[in-house]
Amino acid sequence: MKKLLIFILLPLVLILGAGIGAAIVGIVPDFGLRVLLGLEDPVVVEKPPVPVVPSVPPPPMTPGGKEHAFVKTTDMVVTLRSSSDVPVTALFQFSLEITDNAARARIGPLTPYIRDAMNIYLSTLSATDISGVQGYHRVRNGLWKKLTALAEPGTFANIHILKMTLR
């Protein structure tokens, strides 16, 4: 029994004591031991607030802020869905209103993805989908959803349709 005490329990007590002592001093990670013993206050991590992105764009005539800038896209010719044998094409041009000039640098690398998202969305529409005022708003709302999904929240302030012509 003495041998068991000397060869097993004594080293076990020494190792546990050294480990707990090193954890209290801060030499090794303590996995919350210092908080449990009341030596430190628990660390509370606050998450930064996530900006709320509206699901629809603001009205087209909303006045922009002083720092708002505009990025104009090149003309896009899109073939629309059609049930007839004659292809129906549409000509589009957009102006993206961004919150500041720093956002221009953020969307620079995203420009090809923005054009692709616009082109894919517009090619799913038909001529009847984009005709009239309802079609105008349908295009703006659809493109707004695509844009806000691509860029980080707060990058885009608005989207303006400069040209929308059916051929």
Rounded-to-integer distance, Cα 10 and Cα 45, Å: 41
**What average pLDDT is seen over the chain?**
85
Cα distance between residue 128 and residue 139, in whole Å: 12
Distance from the first to the final alpha carbon of the chain = 99
Token digits for 83? Answer: 């049930």
pLDDT digits over 14-27, tens only? 898 888 887 777 77
Residue ranges per structural domain of the chain? 2-36, 69-166
- Name the burial class of residue 48, with classes exposed (0-12), middle (13-18) and buried (19+) by CB atoms within 10 angstroms of its CB: exposed
**For residue 64, what pLDDT band results from cuts at 50, 70 and 90?**
low
> Residue type at 129?
D
At 91-114, the pLDDT tens digits run 999 998 888 888 888 888 988 999
Closest CA relative to residue 143, chosen from 76, 87, 48:
76
Mean of the pLDDT values across residues 54-78? 81
Alpha-carbon span 148 to 71, nearest angstrom: 15
Number of other residues whose CB lies within 10 A of the CB of residue 65: 10
Looking at domain 69-166, its CATH architecture is 2-Layer Sandwich (3.30)
pTM over 0.85: no
Which tokens go with 54?
A: 């509206």
